Amino acid sequence: MKKHIIAALVLLGATVPAAAQNLPSVDGKITKVDVSAGKITIDHQKIPNLDMPPMTMVFRASNPDQLKTVKAGDKVKFTADSINGQMTVMKIEKAR
């Protein structure tokens, strides 16, 4: 059903929201978490969908509540996208 809705939107000229796309999972290590500001600093590997090389940078969180599950020093897997020109973590979880 979901695929049919997305296909219909594409046929109508609508764009598929970034959250609906399959974003690549990226490895990283958290260096800082600022829950009150909704920001997280991650030393990350290459982010292919953003054409971004490995580096350490600050991201906004699409959902600041997800920042409560991680802390500095944690190894993580995350997805990121550019939302309104801001680099944003869409999903994050501790690496296993």
List domains and CATH numbers for the chain: 21-94 (2.40.50.320)
Measured in Å, how far apart are the chain's first and last C-alpha atoms?
A: 32
Specify whether the CB–CB gap between 87 and 96 falls below 8 A: no
Question: How high does pLDDT run on average in the chain?
Answer: 85
Global confidence as pTM: 0.78
Whose CA is closest to 94, among 76, 73, 78? Answer: 76
- Residue 12 above 50 pLDDT? no
Task: Give the whole-angstrom CA distance, residue 40 versus residue 13.
Answer: 34
Percent of the chain with pLDDT over 70: 78
User: 56-72: string of b/e by CB count within 10 Å (b at 16+)?
Assistant: eeebbbbeeebbeebee
Give residue 21's region: left, alpha or beta (phi > 0; psi -120 to 50). Answer: beta
